[in-house]
Amino acid sequence: MKHTQFSKLRSIAPDQALEKARRAKEAGPAAIDATIGEIRDEHGRTLVLPSVRKALGALERKHVRDFGYMATDHAPEKFCESVQPLIGKHPHIACVPTEGGTGAMKANVQLVKNIDPDMPLIATNPGWSHLNKLVKQSDMDIRYISYMENGEPDVEMLLRFIRKKTSAVLFQGFGHNPTGSDYTHSQWQDIAKVMGTRRSIALMDIAYQGLANVPEADTKRIQTLVRQGVTVAVAWSGSKNHTLYNERVGLAAAITADESERKRVGQHYGEAVRIQRAHGPRIVATVQNEFGEEWLQDLTRVRSDLFKRRERLQKILPEELGQKVAGSGLFTMLPLRIEQIQKLEELNVFIADDGRINIGGIPLNRMEELAEKIKSVL
Ligand X SMILES: Cc1ncc(COP(=O)(O)O)c(C=O)c1O
Binding residues (CB under 6 A) for ligand X: these are 37, 100-102, 128, 172, 177, 205, 207, 237, 239, 250
Alpha-carbon distance of 361 to 24, in angstroms, equals 11
Instruction: Name the residue nearer to ligand X (CB basis): 11 or 246.
Output: 246
Instruction: Name the residue nearer to ligand X (CB basis): 1 or 275.
Output: 275
Instruction: Name the residue nearer to ligand X (CB basis): 124 or 237.
Output: 237
Residue 244 CB, nearest approach to ligand X (Å): 9
Residue 319 CB, nearest approach to ligand X (Å): 29
Residue 369 CB, nearest approach to ligand X (Å): 25
Residue 237 CB, nearest approach to ligand X (Å): 3
Residue 235 CB, nearest approach to ligand X (Å): 7
Whole-number CA gyration radius for the chain: 21
Instruction: Name the residue nearer to ligand X (CB basis): 147 or 371.
Output: 147
Residue 259 CB, nearest approach to ligand X (Å): 29
Report phi then psi at 234, rounded to 5: -110, 135
HEC readout, 38-62: CCECCCCCECCCHHHHHHHHHHHHH
Residue 359 CB, nearest approach to ligand X (Å): 14
Please report the sign of the dihedral spanned by the C-alpha atoms of residue 341, residue 177, residue 143, residue 249. positive
Instruction: Name the residue nearer to ligand X (CB basis): 191 or 211.
Output: 211
Alpha-carbon distance of 40 to 357, in angstroms, equals 13
Alpha-carbon distance of 113 to 87, in angstroms, equals 23
Q: State the CB neighbour count (10 A cutoff) for residue 276.
A: 21
Question: Amino acid identity of 19?
Answer: E
E strand or H helix at 83: helix 79-87
Residues 6+ apart with CB under 8 A from 362: 32, 33, 34, 40, 309, 370
Instruction: Name the residue nearer to ligand X (CB basis): 120 or 238.
Output: 238
For ligand X, the nearest residue by Cβ is 100
Question: Amino acid identity of 255?
Answer: I
Instruction: Name the residue nearer to ligand X (CB basis): 212 or 313.
Output: 212
Contact between 96 and 231 under an 8 Å Cβ cutoff? The reply is: no
